[in-house]
Chain A
């Protein structure tokens, strides 16, 4: 064979498009590579920057064994952390960790010694013996004078504390609060640095339990004077006598608590730090943080329940003991001052449907009375001994009342009312439910005014609403914590409901020591509040939550700081 002629390379086959530039595939691959490398570089740089700029490395993992700390989320920015004027549960929870009153509650909701190691309560007076090893976080001792100062301040007219009424069992407290007597006349005296004597206005069997409440916490007078109006507005403007001290408070972002080395019982505190790395109003977002392992505790809303079940998380229940209701504005210039209109709204209200079809969380109970089912009566539970009459929704009767109301108010069509509500998914859902419910049955249009917590409290206080979705959590273990809520003098009676009959019975319950007489009075109050439609009851709350299984010792409680992480601890990984 001679040399064969090598055939020329075959021309490109017919199928290949002829307008493709040769080598463009390779070029595309290079572009792709450049793009990927660039993207990775950007991600790395951003990640580094994020680490670098995160304040105090606040967004840590849920459980940090190295620093012996846990990470949590707050549901709201605390409006303020002044123990004399705080009203909301977020502030109460934080203050319960950084402050301590004369007494405190343990994990089983029993009263145990706090700053006071010993106490006696008689019909006319109470006496507390303070421990001498209790110090403020600046090293000065906690003395009886700090309590006298704090209590006088809370009752002073200028302070305008909405919780002043809780101190009314103290002699002259009410008169001091009204400005009729100088604060020095308050029946509280520091017998010595470590002995506090209280004169009582009337026999108050539950007085000891009151002293665990926020408003009764001490305030260091010398420190307070150095801060003046700025007191409690920042972490630096507070000092602490509780298990933890607040080292960092970035408003609307995060709060950090660290173990207080001056706390008298510091050996019982096992965590070194509690980090509230986030403030998120959206329960869904909070649950997502839990899912990603960023926080140790999260509540479960109805929307998330199925997801939590499918993920097979350990779900726990807590009876939070609060009563939720639609508070009504009784100020005379409001349409809702009309009883027939209120009655119409009440008559179509269906708490059973609300609980089973809207709230959809176990542990909730349809609201029947302002007194929740766990309040104690004479021997057993109050609500078993004095049952409330049954509430049967009756749209037909409701429309008759509405017609009467329209006649009395000279209206030609059903009125439009403003419903003030919180700005979170749960409130949004419920407010939309009520909006549709009242429109369907009564033709009443509801305008929903969504406000964040602070703003909602301010609007409730100034009376800028017709209806508001509100709730009340108990402050101490006695029916009076709910019973006096709608007394005319109570600052938390946001709708300014005034009834001499209720006032009279609240006085009886306050002044009497006979349980039967007090329960009779409570019974009259609960029925009058229903008959007058002072409020419309919605439900008694329960709650579901998930908690990291590596954390122990977290107490849930009805009264006081909830949840309470003060004596929580990390469960060792090994065991």
Chain B
């Protein structure tokens, strides 16, 4: 046991006992780092940023007016054909050519389309049934079959020799089935229907195209030329308004209310709650009972009354009224939360220590109270945003929200609901936007709570 190498040696004094291997991080840096670790929250953050850009910058990129109606292109889905052929100006047909007589006594044996069937008009002529006292015309959008009703009764024409009808009612470029049947004096049908399948070509007159703003002012147009109706990437609504433009302006309304209202009521709640919590005593009791009273107000009833009181004369299409009502009714939750936090922190050891060391009140509040409540407040805020967006959509959906023509996602859903079976895109797009935005804000709020909560950190 004389091996010298195993004997103890003094270590050199310069060597550090401990080295900080990671850089020191502030509370906010740490929160940000933890948020970035949360992939769901990060994705939600990007979605939220996208929605904000969509609302603010969107209308600069997609410069279409959301209130401009296009009555030739109502409720068209995104993939609809936009090409229209320019036709001769519309002139009523004064004297249709003579019609021949049917061989059968109770049925029309020939229906013809005079000229071309276009979305401006469809002119029908049929063979005379001499013993009829008139004709009933039907139009269908599914093939007319003998065992089913013949579609919508379009017109009833009096007189056996009146065998001409011009249809101009809401013609869309598609296939129609026209059925005509001779009728007697009482309107009873004499015999079987005769049906003609008609393909309607998309067509417009120069006047109409100009009125709708489809023409390039530098060009001259001839009948037979093709013009294109405005491109609507997400289709149009029931009055032919561009759905994308409406979604952008709707996003402005929804996000404006969704962010400003929570901001205002959170600020109001902080002031109210911190006054109640910091001063305490009787004032606290009185203030919090008032908050309880506000919580007890029925929201919808209050909203309706508030809207009635504001009337239609508000310049802001009902947005300000809704904002004020939301703020007036929603602050107590934040106030309670902040008061609870302040009460708790006031009694903490480090606050007492700080006070004993002579820290002035304002420093106490700025250095200890606010930073320690801010995390909670921020989380409250991020959760308030989606619920307010939802409330706004709900109110607009039931018609208590913004006034027309200002779009909002909720009112667009309400408009789209009516035709959801025939043109579902009018409902689906605004519904998707509401859902995604609300979901993104919720997940983001969740992530923020995890990132900001000091107690969660200890658990790791």
Contact = CB atoms under 8 A, between A and B. Distances in A.
Contact of B405 (A306, A309, A432): A432
B169 A432 contact: no
B374 interface: no
A544 B312 contact: no
B368 interface: no
Interface string B84-125: 000000000000000000000000000000000000000000
Contact of B399 (A302, A429, A450): A450
Interface string A317-332: 1000000000000000
> Counting chain A CB atoms within 10 Å of each CB, which of B69, B74, B399, B403 scores highest?
B69
Given A447-B312, A448-B312, A310 B153 contact: no
B419 A303 contact: yes
A309 B403 contact: no
> Counting chain B CB atoms within 10 Å of each CB, which of A304, A357, A423 scores highest?
A357
Interface in A433-461: 433, 435-437, 439-440, 447-450
A436 B239 contact: yes
A507 B230 CA distance: 54
Contacts of B155: 362-363
Contacts of B312: 418, 447-449
Interface in A304-320: 304-310, 312-317
> Counting chain A CB atoms within 10 Å of each CB, which of B151, B403, B404, B405 scores highest?
B404
A482 B231 CA distance: 46
B223 to A, nearest CB: 21
B239 A433 contact: yes
Contact of B417 (A284, A302, A317, A432): A284
A418 B403 CA distance: 12
B392 interface: no
Contact of A432 (B170, B404, B419): B404
> Counting chain B CB atoms within 10 Å of each CB, which of A305, A306, A440 scores highest?
A306
Nearest to A353: B71
A544 B399 CA distance: 26
Interface string B403-444: 111000000000001110110000000000000000000000
Contact of A429 (B68, B153, B238): B238
Contacts, number: 91
Nearest to B170: A360
A38 B363 CA distance: 56
Nearest to B186: A108
A260 interface: no
Interface in A405-440: 418, 423, 425, 428-429, 431-433, 435-437, 439-440
Interface string B366-404: 000000000000000000000000000000000100011
Contact of A303 (B72, B313, B399, B418): B418
What DSSP secondary structure best describes chain A's contact surface? helix
Nearest to B67: A436
B404 A362 contact: no
Contacts of A313: 149
A314 B149 contact: yes
B271 interface: no
Contact of A356 (B153, B170, B239): B170
> Counting chain A CB atoms within 10 Å of each CB, which of B67, B239, B405, B418 scores highest?
B418
A409 to B, nearest CB: 19
A362 B152 contact: yes
Contact of A315 (B67, B151, B419): B151
Contacts of A571: none
Nearest to B149: A314
A309 B170 contact: no
A423 B67 contact: no
Interface residues of B, number: 33
A557 to B, nearest CB: 15
A358 interface: yes
Contacts of B39: none
Given A303-B418, A310-B141, A312-B142, A544 B239 contact: no
Interface in B34-81: 67-69, 71-72, 74
Contacts of B417: 284
A239 B174 CA distance: 55
B229 interface: no
A440 B68 CA distance: 8
Nearest to A355: B169
A362 B148 CA distance: 20
Given A358-B71, A362-B153, A448-B312, A284 B418 contact: yes
Nearest to B177: A309
A447 B313 contact: yes
A433 B153 contact: no
Nearest to A418: B312
A309 B418 contact: no
Contacts of A362: 139, 152-155, 169
Contacts of A449: 312
B153 A315 contact: yes
Contact of B170 (A357, A436, A448): A357
A423 B142 CA distance: 32
> Counting chain B CB atoms within 10 Å of each CB, which of A307, A309, A544 scores highest?
A309
Interface in A361-376: 362-363
B168 interface: yes
Contacts of A433: 69, 71, 239
A309 B152 contact: yes
A436 B418 contact: no
A530 to B, nearest CB: 21
A356 B404 contact: no
Contacts of B153: 315-317, 362-363, 544
Contacts of A305: 152
Nearest to B240: A357
Interface string A504-542: 000000000000000000000000000000000000000
Contacts of A303: 238, 418-419, 422
Nearest to B75: A303
A315 B403 contact: no
Contacts of B71: 353, 357-358, 433
A316 B151 CA distance: 9
A281 to B, nearest CB: 10
B140 interface: yes
Contacts of A314: 149
A472 B5 CA distance: 116
Contacts of B139: 362
Contacts of B152: 305, 308-309, 315, 317, 362, 544
A309 B417 CA distance: 18
A301 B419 CA distance: 11
Interface in B151-204: 151-155, 168-170
Contacts of B141: 306, 309-310
B69 A307 contact: no
B186 to A, nearest CB: 9
A460 B74 CA distance: 32
A341 to B, nearest CB: 20
A450 B312 CA distance: 9
Nearest to B423: A306
B310 to A, nearest CB: 12
Contact of A435 (B148, B404, B422): B404
6 closest A-B pairs by CB:
A357-B71, A360-B170, A317-B153, A314-B149, A306-B422, A312-B148
Given A418-B312, A448-B403, 18 more contacts: A301-B418, A302-B170, A303-B238, A307-B422, A309-B151, A312-B142, A315-B151, A358-B239, A362-B139, A362-B153, A362-B154, A429-B239, A432-B239, A436-B239, A447-B312, A447-B403, A449-B312, A544-B153
Interface of A: 284, 301-310, 312-317, 353, 355-358, 360, 362-363, 418, 423, 425, 428-429, 431-433, 435-437, 439-440, 447-450, 544
10 contacts: A303-B422, A304-B418, A307-B422, A312-B149, A317-B152, A353-B71, A356-B168, A356-B169, A432-B69, A450-B399
Interface of B: 67-69, 71-72, 74, 139-142, 148-149, 151-155, 168-170, 238-239, 312-313, 399, 403-405, 417-419, 421-422
